[in-house]
Amino acid sequence: STSGSVSISGATDATEEMLLGYDTTTKYGWINCVDQAVNYRNLVLNPSGGNVGIGTVAPPTLLSVTSGAQDTEATAGVLGLASIMGTSSTTRPHLTVVSNSAQAADTGASLGFAGQVTNAVTTSNLLGVIRSYKENAVSGDGDAYMSFVVRQDGTGLAERMRIDSSGNVGIGTTAPSALLDVAGNQALGSAIAVNLSGVLYVNESNVGIGTTNPAYTDVAGVGTILHLESSSFPVLRLVR
């Protein structure tokens, strides 16, 4: 056989065993826990404590995957429960989530976040999801979008924001038509500036066109500053 193994059997049942083996054809080692009369069993590492390291002999977190030099200054409090260490790259992320579904529109990979929402129940609920999906069903077309899904009590999970393949950002819409497309009511902070060479500026209570310091609705400029035109409706109505 191209795969040899060592068996460690249970003390009271020889059909329950852990197998450690090596496949000489494809060159990999393997571990399996099996019940020969039933199926494969779970494999537990360090159930009583300790960390697990891949690529490191000094794992700083419960699970630490390291490529290259170990960050000796890192601590579990900084890194969290698990860590992935490696060199920075513009083409290779530290962690990749992969979907093996056939290509189609709205298919791809996602990352979920869960937590408990009820005092009396310890079951976790999905609270949010980040998705990176294909925009279309065209084979070979890699246009994709990233969406942010969050839970609202009573209505469940729903998409709240999307970044499409053109870089447009949509809030409250799944089809943003501009760099920032907000559907619904909007609340702005102390000031907003539209980057059109200082054409429009809005502060807490005033609007300025051609000025960045409006004391009221202030229009400033040279030449034709404000042009209103309509064939059938009033173009300007002032009500006090």
Taking each continuous run of H as one helix and of E as one strand, the counts in the chain are 1, 17
The confidence score (pLDDT) of residue 68 equals 82
C-beta separation of 165 from 135 below 8 A: yes
Handedness of CA 91, 128, 148, 140 (dihedral sign): positive
**And the tokens for 172?**
């409250």
Rounded Cα distance, 26 and 177, in Å? 50
Q: Which residues pair with 230 in a beta bridge?
A: none
- Distance from C-alpha of 226 to C-alpha of 54, rounded to nearest angstrom: 67
Res 160: pLDDT? 96
Output the pTM of the full model. Answer: 0.72
Q: What is the pLDDT of residues 200-217, one digit of tens each?
A: 666 666 777 767 777 766
C-alpha 88/C-alpha 69 separation (Å) is 12
How many CB atoms within 10 Å of residue 134?
A: 20
Measured CA to CA in angstroms, residue 43 lies from 22, 34, 40, 136 at distances of 17, 9, 9, 40
Q: What is the mean pLDDT of residues 26-50?
A: 90
- Supply the mean pLDDT for the chain: 84
Which pLDDT does position 106 carry in this prediction?
97
Does pLDDT of 101 surpass 80?
A: yes
Instruction: Say yes or no to pLDDT of 225 above 80.
Output: no
Give me the pLDDT at residue 213, please: 73
Query: pLDDT digits over 52-98, tens only?
Result: 999 998 888 899 999 887 776 665 567 788 888 888 888 889 999 99
Report how far apart the first and last C-alpha atoms of the chain are (Å, whole number). 93
pLDDT digits (tens, 9 = 90+) for 155-183: 899 999 999 999 999 999 999 999 999 88
What contacts 17, CB < 8 A, 6 or more positions away?
Answer: 7, 8, 9, 10, 33, 34, 36
pLDDT value at residue 120: 82
Residue 59 neighbours by CB distance under 10 Å? 20
**Structure tokens of 138?**
């065209």
144 closest CA partner among 170, 123, 165, 122? 165
